A and B are shown apart, each in its own frame.
Chain A
C-alpha cells in the first residue's frame, strides 16, 4: 500500500510545487478550476469513507470533509459566477482529478482498519499539499482580489482539517498495536 500512496503523494506534489512555467502562474480561470476540483475530490473521498470507514471518528471526519468542502465550493461557485469567470481545466486540475480517481480505486479495495489508515494517510498528504499549493502558487498568482480573498479565507479550514487528520492518524497507529 505504501508505494501506491507514495505515488499519489507525488501527484499532489505537482500541485504543491506548481508545475508552471517560471514566472507564469495559473490564470484566474485555471485557479477557479483547481479550487473547485480540489474540493470535489475530497468530497468524493469523504462520501466513500462515510460509507466504508470502520472507526466512528473516521466516519465523522468523512462527514466533516463532505460538509466543509461542499460549503467552500458553494462559495467558490457563487464567486466565479459573480465575477463571470469560467473555470478552465488545466494540467493541474486534471492531475488532481486523476489522483482523486486513483485514490478512490485504491480505497475501494480496502476494508476495516486498513481502509481507515489509508484514507486518513491520504487526507493528511492531501491537505498538506493543498495548503502548500495555496501558499506557493494559487494565492500569489490570483489576479482578482476577491478570488485571492476567498482562498485566504478558506486556508484556516484546510489547516484545521490537516491537524484533525493528523490526530486521527496517530490514534489509528496506536489502535493497530
Chain B
C-alpha cells in the first residue's frame, strides 16, 4: 500500500483493517487516513458506552458497549469529522482517499 503506483493487474488491492481505540474518552489515533475499500474498526476500551458518529451521519456506529467494537467499510472518499454522540468532548477525523 506504500507509494502511488497503480497496477492494472491489481485492480482491487487488498483492503486493510485499521483500528481506532476508544479509551480515556478519546479516539486514538484521533486523525486517521485510509483508502476507499479499507475497513475501520472502533474498539471501546472504556467502562462506558460510546459511539463513532460522523457529522450528517455519513456513518454511525450507534452505541458501542464497553469491550465491544464496530466496523465499517469506507466506501466513499472524503474527510469525515466524527464524534461520540453521548460525549461531546470526543472528536476525531477520518479521511478516506481514493
Contacts and interface: CB of A to CB of B under 8 A. Distances in A.
Interface of A: 64, 67-68, 71-72, 75, 153-154, 156-157, 159-160, 163-164, 167
B1 to A, nearest CB: 33
Which of A68, A153, A160 has the most CB atoms of chain B within a 10 A radius of its CB?
Answer: A160
A157 B48 contact: yes
15 contacts: A67-B49, A71-B49, A71-B66, A72-B47, A75-B66, A156-B25, A157-B46, A157-B48, A159-B25, A160-B25, A160-B87, A163-B89, A164-B87, A164-B88, A164-B89
Interface string B47-80: 1110000000000000000100000000000000
Which 8 pairs of residues, A with B, have the shortest CB-CB distance?
A: A156-B25, A156-B24, A68-B48, A160-B25, A160-B89, A71-B48, A75-B47, A160-B87
Nearest to B87: A160
A68 B89 CA distance: 15
Contacts of A68: 48-49, 86
A51 to B, nearest CB: 19
Nearest to A70: B48
B90 interface: yes
Which of B25, B26, B46, B47 has the most CB atoms of chain A within a 10 A radius of its CB?
Answer: B47
